[in-house]
Chains A and B, each alone.
Chain A
Amino acid sequence: MILLWFIIILFVGGILAWIAEYWNASISRWISMLALIINFCLASYLLAAQNEIAILSESSWLLYYRIPWIPSFGISFYLALDGLSLVMLILTFFLGILAVLTSWKELQYKIGFFHFNLLWVLAGITGVFLTMDLFLFYFFWEVMLIPMYLLIGIWGHENRRYAAFKFFIFTQASGLLMFVAILGLYFVHGNLTGEYTFDYFKLLGTTFSPEVGRWLMLGFLAAFIVKLPVVPFHSWLPDAHAEAPTAGSVILAGLLLKTGAYGLLRFVVPLFPDAAHEIAPWAMLLGVIGILYGALLAFSQTDLKRLVAYTSVSHMGFVMLGVFAFNELAVQGVVMQMITHGISTGALFIIAGFIYERIHTRDIDQMGGFWKQMPFMGTIALIFAMASLGLPGLGNFVAEFLTLVGAWKASHTLTIFATLGLVAATVYSLRFLQSVFNGAEMTHVTLPDLSLREKLMVVPMVIFIVWLGLFPQPVLNTVKRSVERVISAQTKVDDIREDLRPGIAQKGGEDE
């Protein structure tokens, strides 16, 4: 039941925030803040109590909630929570709170409707992370699009309409392919077993002819790699991220991209282990191309937000690389990457938002020497630039290191090239710092340093990223079972194909 509350609180909170605008716009802010804080506390409680719950539920799934929805098609409103979902939920609500805080002063136009959209996007994302019914999954997948479209299209920067269109059509078109694939899976399973259902757990064991499996997997893959995004399909991302308001950018980079990664882990690999294995070399190659290409483009941007956007393309390449390396270390790295990238990129967008609020431009050429006037912001920016380039001691290092170690087992060549991406990351991160906070000073403006509200936003993020860098083990423990499930889907196939001994899962697929 608590799972349902996560979603209801956000949906209802959104509507209330919209209505509240009629009396007083600032009530809207407080309502959405309150809704997110309640959810954050609930999720934290679950995180704290996960061991007790795990013992009670006697499986790796902590909580279930299920009611029939459209029984004639075997569709149910099915939510389930495991370690991976839980961690993603915490991230969702954390970044959600930050998104509300960051728009506290920045947004003065149609505040109630803004918060309505914000909460509904978050509700869609929460649903995506929780649902175990494929129809419902697609439902939530789509629900988050329209509010996101409006967030970009109404409150964005100059070129917002173009960016919003592009974002919407890219994601929707790829989503439709996934929808067709979901239905394909539904009928394949139904014809095979006589039970027509969208239940994830029942669909898990479905066997296909290689060709059918390949096509269905491509349908799923299409949606996820556009969302992630992987390089040939990334062109919506810089536009959407750059044109969105700060809160929108934070949610896009921090959460929406993660739904793609989550989809790969939760659906593509477990549902189609054979086909995923087949495509793995190509997928890893695309990941590496993404790492290098994203880094290259990030380096050459003059728009601060586009720069950060391209770093996302680069970092998401690691996700692609790790998922298709098929071993425990790499997948753990991917999960860490999802969290740390969400925080570090979110922070960079927030900093870009701070700067935009002060000087009303995103053009790097018009910035420089900000450190003198804003040492506090400079320090924060330094920390997150370091996180982004993978400095040991910060969360991103753990993520990328694990991914690379895992990927090394799968492919030496690709891993070497991926490691070059870290070097490139150093270059663009330092360029960002240099041209914004150091260099020639812009003397014609007076820049106030961070206010209390702004400090309140960035300091927890710093704490989080340092904590994740120094003590990643609690997170890894929480997601351990989920990661094992991803791997075991693959090793089951290996068992059959190579006739290996059972128990390969513990060794983490070293034979590859």
Chain B
Amino acid sequence: MSKTDLLSVIPIFILTSAAILILFSIAVKRNHKVIYLITTVSLAADFIYIALFSAKTKWIIEPLFIIDGFGTFNTGLILLSALAVSMISYAYFEQREERKEEYYILLILATLGAVVLVISKHFISLFLGLEILSVSLYAMITYLRKRERSDEAGIKYLILAAFSSAFLLFGMALVYASAGSMEFSGIAKHLASSSSMSPVVFAGLGLMTVGIGFKLGVVPFHMWTADVYEGAPAPVTAYIATVSKGGMMALLVRFFVVIDGYRYTALMMAFAVIAIASMFIGNFLALRQNNVKRILAYSSISHVGYILVAFLAGGTLGVQAVTFYLVAYFITTIGAFGILATLSDRDRDAEMREDYKGLFWARPWTAAIFTAMLLSLAGIPLTAGFIGKFYIVAAGVGNGQWLLVLMLAVNSAIGLYYYIKIIATMFEPYEKERPSDQLYPSIYIVSGVTMAVLTLLLVWIGTNPSGIMDLIQAFVRLN
């Protein structure tokens, strides 16, 4: 291992050592504050390391990893998201009886998995990363064991994720059997050598799509999303919605660009169908929901559908659009679930729409932030979501994907309905006498600051996106 090899995997080392450090620290004394500090400091340090020292040039560690601009950017994004999630976790878990400290180990390990995922160039590293991520998530989802729905969510996720991993593995095996290589570039070479795809490889890629589709939560592999989102603690839901899905999306983009999957119309068609189905079914299922977490779950299905539009458009613009949308979506989703978490008290999460009734008059700042987040999800100007949608539509139109773009426009209009419904609830007149089941959350400064920062970012990117666009254009260069 050369010195540069070592330097370029330092982000991974920081994460692993942080996990071990927390283990030891718990062994000495359980202290939520200390553990929390270790987590945030190591995540922040890791990000700072990446921001300062990562080379923009490509560095390959044979045969597993490739550290290039795309990988680095996504690593940074994942680290920041994990940091934001840990910020909102503190207040959330502080109010709860359970032992809170192990949660942070899981959080860091899951982040490690996601980071490995986005810099992998080999089936083995892909699978390792994916499993580290998934196994940590099983435990994170059921972390609040005494909750009514957390077991259901955990078991559901466990079984389905194991199932989809099996599909993914089998798909990889088939591809390997035909291509004789597990490296992305090796597979690409094999595929390039023949004009048409052999049935074995085709079946392999198809099975892999099932596995990846499950992780992304796209139709028809979306069954788990609503239940898991609902059953998991709010910060964990935020984590699943962002880091887990985003990491997988980044991997999908990399894999497809390397093997040049855009040549195969059948594959593209399959993804187009998945994209359209996800947009429609996600939005329609969200329309009738009254549970905010479930609404956000279904909306996340449709949002992955939107991202797939840019993904299908391909090209530099498409990849940039995917990345930009991920940035906007991460900020928005963590913000929305962050509000959910700050409003939750020790008994249950603030997940019913009634919990938000009159919020705007009772707690104007919280409600204003939540409104901003929802408007960003709906893609209304002044928010990052709008620029993200613009980027995606631009990529789609630039590539002539008219059908997909029109579907996106139609779905944005459908989606408005349920976002606006939540906003309307917040603006309803405030009832003075509080019902007995009203939530009594405590307020923490950490959460408040995090939410303020996320909101500022949201509006900043929404009104002045050139900076982040330039950053993406500088970093995101595949090939």
Q: Contact residues of A with B, CB < 8 Å?
A: 69-73, 110, 135, 138-140, 142-143, 145-146, 149-150, 153-154, 161, 164-165, 168-169, 172-173, 176-177, 179-180, 183-184, 186-187
Contact = CB atoms under 8 A, between A and B. Distances in A.
B380 A187 contact: no
A69 B465 CA distance: 8
Contacts of A140: 381
Contacts of B470: 72
A161 B424 contact: yes
Interface string B450-470: 000000000000001110011
Given A179-B409, A180-B406, A172 B416 contact: yes
B375 interface: yes
Contact of A187 (B375, B381, B397): B397
Given A73-B394, A145-B380, A179-B393, 9 more contacts: A70-B466, A70-B469, A110-B361, A139-B381, A143-B381, A172-B412, A172-B416, A177-B409, A180-B406
Given A142-B381, A143-B382, A149 B420 contact: yes
Contacts of B465: 70
Contacts of B393: 179-180, 183
Contact of B469 (A72, A164, A187): A72
A172 B382 contact: no
A180 B382 CA distance: 18
B380 A69 contact: no
B113 to A, nearest CB: 33
Contacts of A143: 381-382
A435 B406 CA distance: 48
A488 B386 CA distance: 35
A464 B8 CA distance: 73
B291 interface: no
Contact of A184 (B380, B397, B416, B421): B397
B427 interface: yes
B424 A71 contact: no
B382 A72 contact: no
Contacts of A146: 375, 380
Given A143-B381, A143-B382, A153-B424, A173 B413 contact: yes
A59 B197 CA distance: 62
A187 B315 CA distance: 15
Contacts of A142: 380-381, 386
A174 to B, nearest CB: 9
Contacts of A176: 409-410, 412-413
A164 B421 CA distance: 11
Contacts of B397: 180, 183-184, 186-187
Nearest to B469: A72
Contact of B427 (A135, A150, A173, A187): A150
Interface in B342-396: 361, 375, 380-382, 386, 390, 393-394
Contacts of A184: 397
Nearest to A109: B429
Nearest to B417: A169
Given A153-B427, A169-B416, A187 B398 contact: yes
B473 interface: yes
A187 B397 CA distance: 7
Interface centre among B380, B390, B464 (most CB of A within 10 A): B390
A193 to B, nearest CB: 15
B140 interface: no
Contacts of B386: 139, 142
Contact of B413 (A72, A110, A169): A169
A184 B409 CA distance: 13
Contacts of A135: 390
B200 to A, nearest CB: 39
B409 A180 contact: yes
A389 B421 CA distance: 40
A180 B466 contact: no
Given A179-B393, A184-B397, A69 B466 contact: yes
Contacts, number: 74
Contacts of B473: 72
A146 B419 CA distance: 12
A143 B462 CA distance: 12
A259 to B, nearest CB: 15
B304 interface: no
B463 to A, nearest CB: 9
B405 interface: yes
Contacts of A139: 381, 386
12 contacts: A70-B466, A72-B470, A110-B361, A138-B381, A139-B381, A139-B386, A143-B381, A143-B382, A169-B413, A177-B409, A179-B390, A187-B397
A168 B416 contact: yes
B405 A164 contact: no
Contacts of A69: 464, 466
B51 to A, nearest CB: 21
A287 B456 CA distance: 45
A377 to B, nearest CB: 32
B127 to A, nearest CB: 37
A139 B386 CA distance: 9
Contacts of B464: 69
Contact of B466 (A71, A168, A169, A183): A71
Contact of B394 (A150, A168, A183): A183
B5 to A, nearest CB: 34
Contacts of B424: 153, 161, 164-165
A72 B466 contact: yes
B405 A180 contact: yes
Nearest to B405: A180
Interface centre among A142, A161, A179 (most CB of B within 10 A): A179
Nearest to A188: B397
A138 B390 CA distance: 11
B132 to A, nearest CB: 36
A164 B405 CA distance: 27
Given A142-B380, A183-B393, A172 B469 contact: no
A216 to B, nearest CB: 11
Interface in B235-257: none
Interface centre among B375, B398, B406, B469 (most CB of A within 10 A): B398
Contacts of A73: 394, 469
Contacts of B406: 180
B420 A165 contact: yes
Nearest to A161: B424
A135 B469 CA distance: 16
A165 B417 contact: yes
Nearest to A173: B413
A210 to B, nearest CB: 17
A168 B421 CA distance: 11
Nearest to B470: A72
Nearest to B466: A70
Contacts of B361: 110
B102 to A, nearest CB: 43
A154 B427 contact: yes
A265 B375 CA distance: 30
Question: Which 7 pairs of residues, A with B, have the shortest CB-CB distance?
Answer: A173-B413, A176-B409, A183-B397, A142-B381, A139-B381, A70-B466, A187-B398
Contacts of B417: 165, 169
A444 B398 CA distance: 68
A161 B427 CA distance: 11
A74 B123 CA distance: 40
Contacts of A172: 412-413, 416
A176 B382 CA distance: 16
A70 B462 CA distance: 11
Nearest to B399: A187
Nearest to B397: A183
Nearest to A160: B424
Nearest to B406: A180
Contacts of A168: 416, 420
B302 to A, nearest CB: 14
B386 to A, nearest CB: 7
Contacts of B421: 165
Contacts of A180: 393, 397, 405-406, 409
